[in-house]
Amino acid sequence: MTEITQKIIEEPNNTLSMHPKKFALWLFIVSIVMIFAGLTSAYLVKQAEGNWLLFDLPIIFYISSGVILLSSITMHWAYLSAKKDNFNTTKIAMSVTVVLGFAFLVTQIMGWNDLVNMGVFFAGSQSNPAGSFLYVFSGLHGLHLVSGIVFLLIILVAVFKYQIHGKNMVRMEMCATYWHFLDLLWIYLFVFLIVNS
């Protein structure tokens, strides 16, 4: 047996691996992407059929988009702080992220109220598919965002218990990934609605 052959036998190739919980999170994210890809495709098909109500998005949706982008920045700030074991900064950044998450939900509800005042309804004799899709998009995203806020709260508690630090970052990484995804998803939906309204 040559030296090269022996080396190959003794040193098997490293396989790519991912933490099982991270893998499960990515599967969940992919499933959400597929749901919204189907919904946005249905939106375009239905719009092409005609009988489409034209209206401007409420200003509050622009504000909520700014809020959720800001929350992504504070989430990244929390992540970097935790990685450096800067516990006080991590607590502040996570707390701000949670507050911004709740603020986003409040602005979404305010946006629904503005839509009703504009005569855009989800269902009923006065409803139109254009409005119905907007409620479905924002409502379904809001539902996923609630799960994201629950995740943020779990991490916030762990941060205050000093369970998140540079050598124990899996949960923080998963939370950051999911939160950034939800932020990007809303921005995608928001831009899609602006372009196709």
Q: How many CB atoms lie within 10 A of CB 91?
A: 18
Q: Which of 10-14, 92-96, 161-165 has the lowest mean pLDDT?
A: 10-14
pLDDT of residue 135: 93
Band (pLDDT 50/70/90 cuts) for residue 18 is: confident
If one compares 91 and 13, the residue with the highest pLDDT of the two is 91
pLDDT tens-digit readout, 88-131: 999 999 999 999 999 999 999 999 999 999 988 887 667 788 88
Average pLDDT over residues 14-33: 85
Report the distance separating Cα 135 and Cα 108, nearest Å: 10
Band (pLDDT 50/70/90 cuts) for residue 8 is: very low
If one compares 56 and 78, the residue with the highest pLDDT of the two is 78
| pLDDT over 50 at 139, yes or no | yes
Residues 6+ apart with CB under 8 A from 193: 57, 134, 137
Report the predicted TM-score, pTM, of the whole model to 2 decimal places.
0.88
The token duo for 26 is 């990515």
52 vs 16, 36, 45, 188, CA distance in Å?
Answer: 49, 20, 11, 21
| pLDDT over 50 at 189, yes or no | yes
Report the distance separating Cα 61 and Cα 55, nearest Å: 13
Instruction: Classify domain 56-196 at the CATH class level.
Output: mainly alpha
Name the DSSP letter for residue 168: B
Instruction: Name 168's bridge partners.
Output: 165
| Domain ranges, ordered by start, for the chain | 56-196
Burial class of 123 by CB neighbour count within 10 A (0 to 12, 13 to 18, 19+): exposed
Given CA atoms 11, 169, 97, 109 in this order, what sign does their dihedral have?
A: positive
Average pLDDT over residues 129-157: 95
Angle at 9 between CA 7 and CA 12, to 5 degrees: 95
CA atoms within 13 A on the CB side of 86: 12
Average pLDDT of the chain, as a whole number: 90
Average pLDDT over residues 62-82: 97
pLDDT of residue 155: 97
